[in-house]
Amino acid sequence: MTKIIKTVTELQTAVDGKRVGAVFTMGALHQGHAQLIKQCRETVGKDAIVVVTIFVNPTQFENNKDLEKYPRDLASDVEICEQNSADIVFAPTVDEIYPLKTLVKKIEPGEIANILEGASRPGHFAGVATVVNRLLEITKPSVTCFGEKDYQQLTIVREIVKELSIPVEVIGVETVRESDGLAMSSRNMRLSEEERALAPHLYDALNRVKAQLLENHPIEKAISSTIEWMADFPEIELDYLTVLSPSLGKPVPGLARVLVAARIGDVRLIDNIECELAVANV
């Protein structure tokens, strides 16, 4: 049975001397999170302890309204954790994570935090990097799993782990999708029926770009023609559609990422897929 722990002291006592796998979440768990837990368990082994943290981190929200609207259902979250063999749910208060605030080291993730999501949400990734570093300090895992849906977040976590020489393996887990291709996200539950019907077009847009790149169209042409296609859905307010390297730098021949972000109603959605670039594309 999954144990619920709410204090840092109790958690550290529970995992002391054990091999630990950790999955860091803000709750509102779905099958995408379930896949993270499964992958974590598979990687660390049956004799290790898998810890799932559920903490709605206030420092990564732009305003208090978004923070207040974030869905919270600990009982449902614990049920998903139990179903996927998590040993501990760590559900701390803000004061447990940020005691006397000044004692917590603030992490600035660098220039990669200022593009894509960072351009639209200033300070967001500093909040993410800071809380991830804090949770790594608390749980001391050998392995931690992050979803590829939040690809920029995954890339930043990998960078700070490398920069700070934190001894943990960061595993990226493939995006889990609904039957129509929509990437699973806690935000999807905020979509109206009409908005939900539009949302899969983001995945369609990614695949349109990828298909054109496979036909050796230049990146600019692949993106511009896809943006023209998306104009048929004016309810989708596109923020960005771009192709970057796996490290989110300038694209070069080889593997790359197609990334998209858009707002449908008052819900912001993101997605990405891997693609292959030929010399002709760049």
Q: In what order do the strands lie in the sheet with 236-244?
A: 236-244, 254-264, 267-277
- Please give the sequence-ordered ranges of beta strands (E in DSSP) within the chain, or none if there are none: 3-5, 20-25, 49-54, 88-90, 143-147, 169-173, 236-244, 254-264, 267-277
Do 242 and 180 form a contact (C-beta atoms < 8 A)? Answer: no
Instruction: Assess whether 201 carries a catalytic annotation.
Output: no
Pairing of strands 143-147, 20-25: parallel
Query: Using CA atoms, how far apart are residues 260 and 203, in angstroms rounded to an integer?
Result: 9
Query: Using CA atoms, how far apart are residues 23 and 37, in angstroms rounded to an integer?
Result: 7
- Which 8-state DSSP code applies to residue 254? E
Crossing angle for the helix pair 124-139 and 8-15, nearest 10 degrees?
A: 50
Pairing of strands 3-5, 49-54: unpaired
Q: Nearest-CA neighbor of 278 among 227, 222, 228?
A: 222
Catalytic residue among 33, 124, 201, 217: 33
Catalogue the active-site residues. 33
